[in-house]
Amino acid sequence: MKPLAHNNEEIIDEAMVITIIISTMDGYLNPHISRFDVIGANYIIVNQGTPFSDSVPENVNVINDTGLGLSRSRNVGLSNLEKDGYFVICDNDNYFSRDLRKKLLPHLQHFDVVTFNNMDASGPIFETHLHTRRSLMSIPSWCISGSNRILDAVEFDERFGLGATFNSGEENIFLIDSFKKGFKIKHIDENLVFHEGISTGFIFNETYFITKGAMLRRMFGVTSLCLIPFFVFRKFKQSNLTLLKALFLSFRGFILLNRS
């Protein structure tokens, strides 16, 4: 991936709004995280389950959603954005650099989606580059920002993500859909978020392989019949499953997507 030059003299449009969308359940936010201190940012909290009742600063909008599912939560937040501006995806267990807005705006003014590095050793940590379909597969949800202008064309697939039929992969589908629509997507070598540990999507059990089979079909259609064996061969050794079992489960996920 060829590095891109970064212009430190970029002029920031101070009128443009960045909104951080936080998804949570049962009114819970980690009390040990400094949550609302990104300079110049607004926030939307989308809470599912027990209503959110804590007091919040004036720049925070709380939405108690009666539905269920992480992708639905993301979509509810995105649908409540102003027409102009930018968004950042957030979970209830990560926090951002106070300079997030300052670091992102010079790039978001020229690119439709901008991804960035995680401060934690679990990554991802990449040099600045233009994304390809392959590189987008390595980006977790907590490293995604974008322009509100893409939201007429893309949204999170509510069949994927925690609380849905398939429990992960929603962020990769969102990014691949954006790529297919022709939006400009860039990664910047800036450590802007801290998210500790491993995502639910990286627990290598039976559900993992079913979900990934469905995810690959959702992103690449019938071509995924060729991709699934290569994917399974790379991943099955990290599980307690045999190669044949992992293949069977992945192709099962391929079939189940059509029924969901």
What is the tens place of the pLDDT at every residue in 158-187? 999 999 999 999 999 999 999 999 999 999
What pLDDT shows up at residue 5? 47
pLDDT tens, residue by residue, 181-221: 999 999 999 999 998 866 655 689 999 999 999 999 999 99
Residue spans of the domains in the chain: they are 18-200, 203-257
For residues 42-69, average pLDDT = 95
For residues 54-64, average pLDDT = 94
CATH number for region 18-200: 3.90.550.10
* Residue 12 confidence class, pLDDT cut points 50, 70, 90: low
CA 156 → CA 59, 164, 172, distances in Å?
25, 12, 10
What pLDDT shows up at residue 154? 98
Q: Does residue 98 register a pLDDT over 80?
A: yes
CB proximity list for 235: less than 8 A, separation 6 or greater? 204, 208, 209, 212, 246
Q: Considering only CA atoms, which of 73, 64, 223 is closest in space to residue 141?
A: 73
For residues 81-99, average pLDDT = 92
Angle of CA points 73, 78, 81, to nearest 5°: 135
Average pLDDT of the residues of the chain? 91
What pLDDT shows up at residue 2? 44
Q: Does residue 156 register a pLDDT over 90?
A: yes
Q: How many Cβ atoms sit within 10 Å of the Cβ of residue 253?
A: 27
Question: What CA–CA distance (Å, rounded) separates 146 from 16?
Answer: 12
Place of tokens 């192709």: 251
Q: Does residue 69 register a pLDDT over 70?
A: yes
Question: What CA–CA distance (Å, rounded) separates 241 from 204?
Answer: 9
For residues 97-111, average pLDDT = 95
What pLDDT shows up at residue 142? 93
Percent of the chain with pLDDT over 70: 92
Strands 94-96 and 185-195, by their bridges, are antiparallel
CB proximity list for 194: less than 8 A, separation 6 or greater? 94, 95, 96, 118, 119, 120
Burial of 225 (0-12, 13-18, 19+ CB in 10 A): middle
Cross-strand bridge partners of residue 194: 95
What pLDDT shows up at residue 199? 63
Which of 60-64, 119-123, 202-206 shows the highest mean pLDDT?
60-64
* Residue 30 confidence class, pLDDT cut points 50, 70, 90: confident
For residues 87-91, average pLDDT = 96
Question: What CA–CA distance (Å, rounded) separates 47 from 127?
Answer: 34
What pLDDT shows up at residue 32? 76
Burial of 47 (0-12, 13-18, 19+ CB in 10 A): buried
Q: Which two tokens stand for residue 243?
A: 């190669």
